[in-house]
Amino acid sequence: MANLNKEPQNILEVAIVGAGVSGLGMGIQLLKAGETNFKIFDKGHDVGGTWRDNTYPGCGCDVKSSLYSYSFEPWAEWSNSYAKQGEIYKYLRHCASKYGVYPYIQFNTSITGSVFDERAGLWNITTADGKTIQARNVVTAVGPFSAPKVAEFKGAEKFKGKTVHTAAWDHSVELEGKRVGLIGTGATAVQVGPAIADKVKNLVVFQRTANWIMPRPDRNIEEAEKALNRKTPLNMKMNRLGVYWFNELTAPFLILKYDMFKAQPEKMASSYLARKVKDPELRKKLTPTFKFGCKRVLVSSDWYPTMQKEHVHLETSAIDCITEKGIRTADGVEHELDVIIYATGYEVRHTGSPIDAKGIGGASLNEKWKNGSEAYQGISTAGFPNLYFLVGPFTGPGHTSVIAYAEAQIGYVIQAIKLRQKRKLKAIEVKPEVEQKFVNSMDFRSEHTVWKSGCASWYLSPNGRNNTLYPGLNAEYRMRIARFNPAEYVLTGANGKTVKPKVSDHISTGLMALKAA
C-alpha cells in the first residue's frame, strides 16, 4: 500500500495546471503554507497566462491595478491606476521571482490527460511529450480566455491582405498607413481601436452590437506617489480596500436585472454618450438596445472620440462575406482593406472539462460535463476526488477582480490539501447532494441576473444558462468558502474505507480560515 504520509520522491502532493494569475497564486500560497512538494505545469514559456499571451496594441485591464493584484503583494510600481498588459505581466513575473515559485514551474508542457487511481489515491497525469506524473491532488488553473474565437465568415480564405486575431497578435503585421478593418466592439476592440487609430490610413469598425460604455477614470501615478507607496504599503492597502468595496456596493447595478438597478447606470452611460458624441446618427448607432450589464460594461474614455475621427468609420451593416479585397457588408458595400483584425473574443468553455480527467470508476469529466460544467463552490465535483478548479464553473467575476475569487478558492483548496495530509486520506470527494444543492442555488440566483435578460454574451452557454459568473457579491462568496467543511465531503482513509471527519478536522480548517481572514 502506498505510504501517504511520507511520499516517495516522484509523487507530488499537488500538480497545478496553468501558471497564470490563479495558478501562480496557488503556488505562492502553497509555499507560504510550507508545502514544497508541488509543480506547476504550463504550456507557455513563462508565467502570466492571458497577460503573457495577449499582446495586442492597447491591451490592458479595466479593473484598477490596486485590485487587479494579489492582496498580499501590493505594488508601488504601477504607472497608471489602470495597468497595461506589459506592466501586469511584469508584476506577475516579479511575484513569481519574489516568492521563489519559478523552480516549481515546468514550462512548455501541455497536460493531455489525468486518470485517478482509486486504489493508490493518486492522479496519473500525462503530458503531450508522453511523460506521466503522479500527484495526490490536481488543481486546474487554466482560465477562461486561452483559446481565440475566430468568427467564421464566408470567403475568409480568399482575402489577399493580412488577418490577425487580437488574442494571438502577430507583431510582424504592419498597420502604419494601412486600411484596417476591426471586427467586434467588445472589451478588446475598445482597447485596440483607439491604440491603432492614429497609425492607420483608415479604420472601419464592424459593429454587430453597441455596448454600454462608462468612462475610464485613469490617471498617471507620479513618482512622488510611488515613493509614498513604497514607504507605506498601508496606503496601497487602503486604496485597494476602497476600490474593492466600491465594486461590491455597485455590484447590484451590474448583476441584477430589476429596473430599479438599471435606470441610474443607463442614465449615466447615456448622458456620457450624449456628452461625447454630438452627431445624432452616430450616437444612435452607438446606443445599446439591451439592459445595462447584460453584456460586459466597457470602460473606455477613448472609444467615442476614436469613433468620431475623420478617417474612422463605424459600420453597422452586417458582414456578408470576406472577399479578396476586404469585407462586403449586407448593404452591398465592399470595404477595401489591407488588414483585418478579429477582436471576436475567446472560446469560453461552458461544457466539457478544462483537462481530460477520468475519475472514480474511469468516469470521464468531459462526459459528466457534456451538457454544462458544474462544481460545488465552482471548485470540486463528485466522482473526481482530490481535483480542484480555480475560477471554475459559476465563479467568474461579473463586477470585480478575478483575483478576489481565485485567492479565496486557493485558501479553500489548501485547507483540503492539509486535511488530506493530516488524516493520510486517499480521497476527498464532494458529496453529490451537496454539489447539486449548490448548483440549484446558482441556477436559481442566475434567474435574477441581468445576464439572462435577453442579450447574447460569452457569459451564457448556447442553451442560455449562466454557469460562468458568480451571481452575487464577492464578499458573500468569500464568506461561503472561507472554511473547508469536511462534512460536505466523503473522506476515504488510507485503508480505502470511508472515514468520518473528526472534531479536530473542523477545528483545524476553522483555524486556517481564521488565520487567512
Interaction site with ligand NAP (CB under 6 A): 60-63, 145, 151, 183-189, 208-209, 296, 319, 343-346, 456, 458
**For residues 206 and 477, which CB has a smaller minimum distance to ligand NAP in the complex?**
206
CB of 218 to ligand NAP, least distance (A): 12
Helix axes 233-255, 263-276, angle to 10 degrees: 100
Q: Terminal CA-to-CA distance of the chain, rounded, Å?
A: 38
CB of 180 to ligand NAP, least distance (A): 16
Buried b (16+ CB within 10 A) or exposed e, 56-84: bbbbbbbbbbbbbbbeebbbbebebbbbb
Q: How many CB atoms lie within 10 A of CB 327?
A: 24
**For residues 30 and 187, which CB has a smaller minimum distance to ligand NAP in the complex?**
187
**For residues 55 and 127, which CB has a smaller minimum distance to ligand NAP in the complex?**
55
- Extended strands (E) in 250-333: 298-299, 312-315, 319-322, 326-329
> Which burial class, exposed, middle or buried, applies to 198 when counting CB atoms under 10 A from its CB (0-12, 13-18, 19+)?
exposed
Buried b (16+ CB within 10 A) or exposed e, 182-192: bbbbbbbbbbb
C-beta separation of 307 from 286 below 8 A: yes
Give the Cα separation of 105 and 137 in Å (integer). Answer: 16
**For residues 125 and 299, which CB has a smaller minimum distance to ligand NAP in the complex?**
299
Cell of 418: 492539509
CB of 148 to ligand NAP, least distance (A): 9
Q: What is the dihedral of CA 166, 169, 171, 175, to 10 degrees?
A: -20
CB of 499 to ligand NAP, least distance (A): 42
CB of 296 to ligand NAP, least distance (A): 4
C-beta separation of 183 from 151 below 8 A: yes
Give the Cα separation of 116 and 364 in Å (integer). Answer: 10
**For residues 67 and 187, which CB has a smaller minimum distance to ligand NAP in the complex?**
187
CB of 261 to ligand NAP, least distance (A): 20
Q: Which residues pair with 213 in a beta bridge?
A: 298
CB of 145 to ligand NAP, least distance (A): 6
Integer-rounded Cα Rg, in Å, for the chain is 24
**For residues 50 and 409, which CB has a smaller minimum distance to ligand NAP in the complex?**
50
Q: What is the dihedral of CA 80, 81, 83, 84, to 10 degrees?
A: -50
CB of 486 to ligand NAP, least distance (A): 34
CB of 287 to ligand NAP, least distance (A): 14
**For residues 41 and 342, which CB has a smaller minimum distance to ligand NAP in the complex?**
342
Give the Cα separation of 516 and 74 in Å (integer). Answer: 17
**For residues 343 and 357, which CB has a smaller minimum distance to ligand NAP in the complex?**
343
CB of 383 to ligand NAP, least distance (A): 30
Q: Please provide residue 16's backbone torsions phi and psi, each rounded to the nearest 5 degrees.
A: -110, 135
**For residues 159 and 484, which CB has a smaller minimum distance to ligand NAP in the complex?**
159
**For residues 144 and 385, which CB has a smaller minimum distance to ligand NAP in the complex?**
144
CB of 305 to ligand NAP, least distance (A): 18
**For residues 392 and 486, which CB has a smaller minimum distance to ligand NAP in the complex?**
392
Give the Cα separation of 61 and 64 in Å (integer). Answer: 7
Q: How do strand 326-329 and strand 319-322 relate by DSSP bridges?
A: antiparallel
Q: Which residues pair with 491 in a beta bridge?
A: 428, 499
CB of 407 to ligand NAP, least distance (A): 17
**For residues 202 and 207, which CB has a smaller minimum distance to ligand NAP in the complex?**
207
**For residues 56 and 104, which CB has a smaller minimum distance to ligand NAP in the complex?**
56
- Residue type, position 291, single letter: K
Q: What angle do CA 307, 145, 317 make, to 5 degrees?
A: 35
3-state secondary structure 400-433: CCHHHHHHHHHHHHHHHHHHHHHHCCCEEEECHH
CB of 401 to ligand NAP, least distance (A): 9
